[in-house]
Amino acid sequence: MTTATTQAPRLPAVLDVFVTALHDGWVVTKRNLIKIKRIPDLLIFSTIQPIMFVLLFAYVFGGAIQVPGVNYREYLMPGIFVQTVAFGSALTAVGLADDLQKGIVDRFRALPMSRAAVLVGRTTSDLLNNVLVTVVMSLTGLLVGWRIHTGFWPGFAGYLLLFLFGYAMSWISAVIGLSVRSVEIAQSAGFIWLFPVTFLSNAFVAIDTMPSWLQPVANWNPISAVVLALRDLWGNAPEGLARGTGYPADHPVQLSLIWCALILVAFIPLAIARYRRSASR
Amino acid sequence: MADAVVAEGLSKRYGSVWALDGLDLAVPEGSVLGLLGPNGAGKTTTVRILATLLRPDHGRAWVSGIDVAKEPQQVRRRIGLSGQYAAVDENLTGYENLEMIGRLYHIGKGQARERANELLERFELTDAATRPVKTYSGGMRRRLDLAGALITSPPVIFLDEPTTGLDLRSRMGMWDIINERARAGSTLLLTTQYLEEADRLADDIVVLDRGRAIAHGTPDELKLQIGGERLEVVLENRNEAEIVAQMLSEVGGESTVDSEAHRVVVQVTGTAAGTLAEAVRHLDKAGIEPVDIGIRKPSLDDVFLRLTGQAAA
């Protein structure tokens, strides 16, 4: 059907695809956000969890390890942020599996809309959810004594990096959500791999306390890169603290950006290909 | 008249089972085709292929002359699909569902809103328009799902079992709406397990069994083939059944006796009501009181018994 939007001078095809993806993606994002508005419990639980994490880690682990000259509670905070955002991105898998199971994806796939829109919409609404969770976490962190010591711009850059990482992780999660057959499986498959990934990192312990064969894994782990980058950007990594070795220790921000780019480049096309082939029945 | 939907040799295999096995279809523009068959006959697979959701293993299909596999996006602009399981978003209101679908058809914000309101009114959902769909009844969800398929008034509409699971009142409401669309000139392809539904709605019926078309014709042609309505009388004993069979051969067409069940079945040749009244008069005159008497419409099982010698799976 010819409509007002297609009567405008034709955009170059690639741009057209992109603009349609953004338009349709935004329509789907709004749909996902309405769900959060209609089911406030979702919001309550997704904010309780980060508050709980900050308090548990601050008071249980924070006091357990004494490092001379280091505020361990403050050192832990970037790790909790990154872990929470990574787990938050697992919601993408659950949301997509739910839409597949309910036949909504079929409805979308029979519409002349962008093939990327359902994924763009889902990852965007999950990003916004992560932003909100991060705000709550930051406020809780401030209450228990965590501070950004560097200034507005580095602090802001840290948040941007955190959100970019969460967004990239959402696309991995999208591939998982489109590959499993039900919400229940998505609920475990989406989260389970995150445990080793987040714990095999510098988020909660110094890498040099790990067995030597594990150290390179933890050193190059994207979670470690982002955590270390945040510690640097926010001034939460005191002098003399073990940072790992080599390139990851020297250029954590750069390495984080490279990781995010690699994840996005690999998983966006994979997720879109999965979406095209996905059939709920 | 040109055909709005054409399928040639559609085949689709799941594992070792052929869900579709060389299906040919042609739906003339502005007509209604009913795909009739039991569960697993390949009805949904056919709709999914025609609506670009599934690629066939073999065969080709065209909607408004456009190849479904080669230019799916062009096909999607011209079709509306309403599925077996009402695919509406439970957390959105009825209005929000329709507006969203309109926006995703790219008809513009203003027109999407206008159409949403129009359709809500037409489908008697205005009062529920601002309530989340999770509060809707099954019938309301189906109507909303169907409304979603009609947002752009598409020339071709696919309805996959539009009334399965609905109560009689909701089913009749859906029939009105579907008939209205057909009169408005849309081409419809609908699947159903109910012969009565195909009879009421379709200009043409294709009977599917195990992925193949086993019969094709207008509802009247099919009814002739399988036998239309029939009068059934159940008697006290075998003896009475024999007498009544003899007696009622004047009332209708061919009559058969099931001597085990003491049941007489007579094909209705005139009107159902006339035949019934006349049969009652005959029984009265002979002083025979039947255990049960009534008009039976042929069911999908009857169709299958006739066409394949087997009951519907």
Q: Would you kindly state where each structural domain of chain A is located, as residue ranges?
A: 24-64+71-277
Averaged pLDDT, A26-30? 96
Contact B105, B115 (CB under 8 A): no
CA-wise closest residue to B174 among B203, B138, B206 = B138
pTM for the structure as a whole: 0.82
Give yes or no for a contact between B148 and B99, defined as CB atoms under 8 angstroms apart. Answer: no
A86 to chain B nearest CA, in Å?
A: 26
From chain A, pick out residues whose CB is under 8 angstroms from the CB of B52: 109-110
**pLDDT, average across residues B1-5:** 86
pLDDT score for B225: 73
State chain A's mean pLDDT as an integer. Answer: 88
Given this chain, do its domains B3-224 and B229-296 carry the same CATH topology?
no
Taking 80 as the threshold, does the pLDDT of residue B306 lie above it?
no
Three-state SS for chain B is CCEEEEEEEEEEEECCEEEEEEEEEEEECCCEEEEECCCCCCHHHHHHHHCCCCCCCEEEEEECCEECCCCHHHHHCCEEEECCCCCCCCCCEHHHHHHHHHHHCCCCHHHHHHHHHHHHHHCCCHHHCCCEHHHCCHHHHHHHHHHHHHCCCCCEEEEECCCCCCCHHHHHHHHHHHHHHHHCCCEEEEEECCHHHHHHHCCEEEEEECCEEEEEECHHHHHHHHCCCEEEEECCCHHHHHHHHHHHCCCCCCEEEECCCCEEEEECCCCHHHHHHHHHHHHHHHCCCCCEEEEECCCHHHHHHHHHCCCCC
Both structure tokens of A44? 């309550």
The better pLDDT of the pair B312, A80 is held by: A80
Q: CB A279 to CB B132 under 8 A?
A: no
Q: Do B53 and A104 touch (CB under 8 A)?
A: no
Could you give the dihedral angle defined by the CA atoms of residues A90, A95, A97 and A100, in that order, rounded to the nearest 10 degrees?
-160
Report whether B69 contacts B61 (CB < 8 A).
yes
Q: How many distinct helices (H) and strands (E) make up chain A?
A: 14, 0
Least confident of A237-241, B33-37, B100-104, B142-146: A237-241
Which range, of A38-42, A58-62, B60-64, averages the lowest pLDDT? A58-62
Q: B230-274: per-residue pLDDT in tens?
A: 888 998 888 888 888 888 888 877 778 888 888 888 888 888 888
Residues A175-211 pLDDT 10s: 999 999 799 999 999 999 999 999 999 988 888 888 9
Please give the residue that has the higher pLDDT: either B109 or A277. Answer: B109
- CB contact under 8 Å between B106 and A6, yes or no, is yes
Write out chain B residues lying below 8 Å of A35, CB-based: 89, 91-92
Confidence of residue A76 (pLDDT cuts 50, 70, 90): confident
Q: For residue A9, what pLDDT band results from cuts at 50, 70 and 90?
A: low
Candidate from A4-18, A227-241, B224-238 with smallest mean pLDDT:
A4-18
Q: Residue A280 pLDDT > 50, yes or no?
A: no
Q: Where are the domains of chain B?
A: 3-224, 229-296
Question: Is the distance from CB of A173 to CB of A188 less than 8 angstroms?
Answer: no
pLDDT at residue A147 above 60? yes
Among B112, B109, B173, B110, residue whose Cα is nearest residue B146: B173
* CB spacing of A112 vs B89 below 8 angstroms: no
Tell me which chain B residues have a C-beta less than 8 angstroms from the C-beta of A108: 104
Q: Which two tokens stand for residue B241?
A: 């059944």
Interface test with B, best of A43, A107, A113 (most B CBs within 10 A): A107
Q: Which fold has domain B229-296?
A: Alpha-Beta Plaits (3.30.70)
Cβ atoms of B149 and B81 closer than 8 Å? yes
CB contacts, 8 Å: A107 with chain B:
81, 83, 87-88, 101, 148
Dist. CA A131–CA A186, nearest whole Å: 22
C-alpha–C-alpha distance, residues B221 and B225, integer Å: 6
Greater pLDDT, A206 or B126: B126
Average pLDDT over residues B225-234: 81
**More reliable by pLDDT, B85 or B40:** B40
The mean predicted confidence, pLDDT, of chain B is: 89
Lowest mean pLDDT among A112-116, A189-193, B133-137, B166-170: B166-170
> Looking at the predicted structure, is the pLDDT value of residue B51 above 70?
yes
- DSSP result, A163-231: HHHHHHHHHHHHHHHHHSSSHHHHHHHHHHTHHHHHHSSTTTS-GGGS-TTTHHHHHH-HHHHHHHHHH
Residue of A28, A111, A114 to mutate, testing the B interface (most B Cβ within 10 Å of its Cβ):
A111
- Band (pLDDT 50/70/90 cuts) for residue B310 is low
Picking from B54, B87, B103, the nearest residue to A102 by CB comes out as B87
The yes-or-no verdict on residue B290 having pLDDT over 80 is yes
Q: pLDDT digits over B84-112, tens only?
A: 766 899 999 999 999 999 999 999 999 99
Q: Which B residues in the span 72-131 are in contact with A, Cβ-Cβ below 8 Å?
A: 73, 76-79, 81, 83, 85-92, 96, 100-101, 103-108, 111
- Do the Cβ atoms of A225 and A252 come closer than 8 Å? yes
pLDDT at A119: 95
The residue ranking higher by pLDDT, B263 or A224, is A224
Over the stretch B62-81, which tens digit does the pLDDT of each residue have?
Answer: 999 999 999 999 999 999 99
Nearest to B53 among A38, A39, A106 (CB): A106
Separation in Å, CA of B75 to nearest CA in chain A: 8
Strand B58-63 with B66-67, pairing = antiparallel
What is the percent of chain A where pLDDT is above 70?
91
More confident position, A36 or B302: A36
**Residue in A with minimal Cα distance to B107:** A3
Give me the percent of chain B exceeding a pLDDT of 70: 96
What are the φ and ψ backbone dihedral angles of A259, each rounded to 5 degrees? -60, -45
What homologous superfamily is domain B3-224 in, according to CATH? P-loop containing nucleotide triphosphate hydrolases (3.40.50.300)
Band (pLDDT 50/70/90 cuts) for residue A7 is: very low
What is the arithmetic mean of pLDDT over B56-66?
Answer: 95
pLDDT, residue B164, reads: 86
Q: Looking at the complex, report in whole angstroms how far the Cα of residue B307 sits from the nearest Cα belonging to chain A.
A: 29
